[in-house]
Amino acid sequence: MARKSSDVDVSSHRPDETVPEDAVPFPPAPPADRWAEDVLGQGFQARTLPLLDDDEGEVVATLVRHVPADDPEALPGTPSSPTFAVLYLHGWNDYFHQRELAREWSALGGAFYALDLRKYGRSLREHQTRGYVEKLSTYDEDLHAALDVVRATHGVGTDVVLMGHSTGGLTAAVWAHRHPGALRALVLNSPWLELQGSAMLRALSQPIVGGLARLHPKAIIPTTDLGFYQRTLLGWTDADGPAPEGEEDDPFVTGWMPEPAWRLSPSAPLRPGWLSAVLAGHAQVADGLEISCPVLVMSSGRTVVSARWSPQMREADTVLDVEQIRRRALQLGPLVTVARFDGAIHDITLSARQVRRRMYAELRRWSRAYVVRVPEPAAR
């Protein structure tokens, strides 16, 4: 069922309180014919990318870009002329809001862009089923529309790095496999490369989910989300005790404050048609991909799954099995770097400050090896 509009005021809800999906108002959409300041504020702009209609009606994607010259918090030494471009894809029940990530890529010399895919975040419309597609290849239209803008701005031959988180990592991986030569590099942040449990569980689940997808593709699959991952994004509470000494101003402690209309808690409902598309992507990865560019796969050091909250959840992936991520990473292509970050949460870019520092240091080192082009020496 598509989300309905509502006049309910959610301003009085606590950050850790469940807000019904139909009670969350939409922020205004950015324009389609020009860049305008984004909801992230100074230094960030957005524009709507019209796409072909589907069975629910109008469809759009939204492209966000970082403009360091307008960003008062841009990192010192950020180049004024980028030498490559980055396109970021978010995960399930999510949207782009990682300002720090944009600033780090810009400081490396990248023109940073992020895409809110159809029916997510800035691209979600009231008549749509949140996040719903029946094939991951449907996102080709979204990516190609975004890349058309990037290339028109920076040149057809511009090197492009595609970065994806969680389900966005799976989408990015299968897209890169189907488009050899299109990317300079691929960076995956805790990508969802296999169904939690095992490949056998996926093999058993696929026919069942496929049958439901054919009969009732948009039915809601009963799931339980205890909200623990969302809790790690909303910062410290009184129940957590004092914040770590010296880290009181870190957004990991004060809260990253995701937009409640675009990141629901509990998570948005899962549907058979969408899950069938994800399982098909998992099967592709299990069969082995041939991604032709260098790939960096990043994960937390461990997974913690429990029916009760634990402070350990602020230092682990509570969403995916990190051992599965690392095993499947080796099946992406011939040149894959796997980096483990102890103490990271599911979205490593939203982890504690010391984890983020280690992650960005590794990202810079890897990028200087595989992304940043070194000028050819002058002929003697």
CATH number at residue 279: 3.40.50.1820
- 247 or 251, which is more confident: 251
The answer on pLDDT for 232 being more than 80 is yes
Using pLDDT thresholds of 50, 70 and 90, give the confidence band for residue 195. Answer: confident
Using pLDDT thresholds of 50, 70 and 90, give the confidence band for residue 84. Answer: very high
4 in any annotated domain: no
27 in any annotated domain: no
Using pLDDT thresholds of 50, 70 and 90, give the confidence band for residue 196. Answer: confident
Using pLDDT thresholds of 50, 70 and 90, give the confidence band for residue 19. Answer: very low
User: pTM for the complete prediction?
Assistant: 0.91
317 in any annotated domain: yes
Per-residue model confidence (pLDDT) at position 375? 73
* Contact (CB, 8 A) for 25 and 6: yes
Using pLDDT thresholds of 50, 70 and 90, give the confidence band for residue 214. Answer: confident
Give me the amino acid identity at 142.
D
- 14 or 352, which is more confident: 352
Per-residue model confidence (pLDDT) at position 46? 98
Stretch among 71-75, 103-107, 205-209 having the lowest mean pLDDT: 205-209
128 in any annotated domain: yes
Taking alpha carbons only, the member of 87, 88, 85 closest to residue 110 is: 85
Per-residue model confidence (pLDDT) at position 197? 63
23 in any annotated domain: no
The answer on pLDDT for 295 being more than 60 is yes
Unique residue bearing structure tokens 């809001």: 97
63 in any annotated domain: yes
Mean pLDDT of 68-96: 97
- Report CA 300 to chain centroid distance, whole Å: 15
9 in any annotated domain: no
The answer on pLDDT for 25 being more than 90 is no
Using pLDDT thresholds of 50, 70 and 90, give the confidence band for residue 6. Answer: very low
The sheet carrying 336-341 orders its strands as 36-37, 44-54, 57-66, 110-116, 84-89, 160-165, 185-189, 295-300, 336-341
109 in any annotated domain: yes
Per-residue model confidence (pLDDT) at position 198? 54
Domain residue limits at 178: 36-371
Q: How many structural domains does the chain have?
A: 1
